[in-house]
Structure formats: C-alpha cells, structure tokens
C-alpha cells in the first residue's frame, strides 16, 4: 500500500487517556510504541518507519490483542507518518496484512496489489 505523506499530519498526535508514547530515533529510523500509563512493560501497539531514498517504509505495525478497536493503530500510524516527514520523503510504503488493510485504507493508503508471504 502507498500514500502521499504531504496529506498526513506533521506533528506526533497526543495519546488517548490512559496511554503514553515512547519514541526512539536512530538516524532515519524511528520506533514508536504505546504503553498503558504506569506500565511501560506492556506494549499495547507499536511500529517502525525508515526513510530510504525519498520513501518512508512502514514496518511491523502491531496492536496487541487486548488493545484492538481503541484507535491505537491509528495513533501509531499518525505518529510514524509525522516522524517520517522529518526526512526528505514524499511517499509512504507498507505491506499490509488482511486485517490491517481496512485501517490503512481509512487513513488514506491505496493498495498497489497483493503480496503472498510464506512462513517456514
């Protein structure tokens, strides 16, 4: 799936009540996670983004089973998009699971085609 990053927010969103962000940066890579307030050991949702040759590659976007349908995936994607825009990127690219496709489409991402992945 792809998106034009210029249409996304440029500021990291505020977390919803009861959750806190943790953001780690390493050059053109960023990791964002959301944790229940007071329990940094539990990762409710997380994701990575890397800026590579003008493209932001979004990867490993995960929402824990106990934290789905709360809007945390949307917050992670908005935070990652804002961090990606700190670099010279125009587009975002990700491979979406079947479950994630609806979320990404609601955030303005467009499908390019299908990918089949096998796990050994």
- Given a contact cutoff of 8 angstroms between Cβ atoms, the answer to whether 93 and 55 are in contact is yes
Two structure tokens written together for 107: 């955030």
**To the nearest whole number, what is the mean pLDDT of the chain?**
92
User: How many of the other CB atoms lie within 10 Å of CB of 55?
Assistant: 16
- According to the model, what pLDDT value does residue 12 have? 86
Q: What percentage of the chain exceeds 70 in pLDDT? A: 100
- Given a contact cutoff of 8 angstroms between Cβ atoms, the answer to whether 80 and 30 are in contact is yes
Q: Could you state, in order of their start, the residue ranges of all structural domains in the chain?
A: 2-106
CATH 3.40.50.150 fits domain 2-106: no
Alpha-carbon separation of residue 22 from 7, 18, 37, 89, 109 (angstroms): 24, 14, 11, 23, 24
pLDDT in tens, 100-114: 888 899 999 998 877
Q: Is the pLDDT of residue 118 over 80?
A: no
Banded pLDDT at 117 (limits 50, 70, 90): confident
* pTM score, whole prediction: 0.90
Q: Is the pLDDT of residue 10 over 90?
A: no
What would the mean pLDDT of 89-98 be, rounded to a whole number?
Answer: 91
For residue 70, count CB atoms less than 10 angstroms from its CB and return exposed for 0-12, middle for 13-18, buried for 19 or more. Answer: middle
pLDDT in tens, 15-59: 999 999 999 999 999 999 999 998 999 999 999 999 999 999 999
Find tokens 């440029």 and name the residue.
Answer: 10
- According to the model, what pLDDT value does residue 37 have? 95
- According to the model, what pLDDT value does residue 85 have? 93
What would the mean pLDDT of 67-88 be, rounded to a whole number?
Answer: 94
């Amino acid at each position: 799936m792809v998106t034009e990053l210029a249409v996304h927010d440029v500021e990291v969103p505020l977390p919803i009540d009861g959750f806190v962000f943790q953001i780690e940066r390493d050059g053109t890579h960023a990791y964002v996670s959301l944790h229940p307030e007071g329990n940094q050991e539990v990762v409710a949702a997380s994701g990575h983004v890397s800026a590579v040759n003008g493209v932001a590659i979004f990867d490993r976007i995960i929402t824990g089973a106990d934290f789905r349908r709360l809007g945390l995936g949307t917050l992670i994607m908005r935070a990652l998009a804002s961090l990606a825009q700190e670099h010279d990127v125009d587009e975002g690219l990700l491979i979406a699971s079947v479950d994630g496709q609806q979320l990404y489409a609601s955030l303005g991402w467009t499908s390019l085609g299908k990918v089949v992945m096998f796990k050994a």
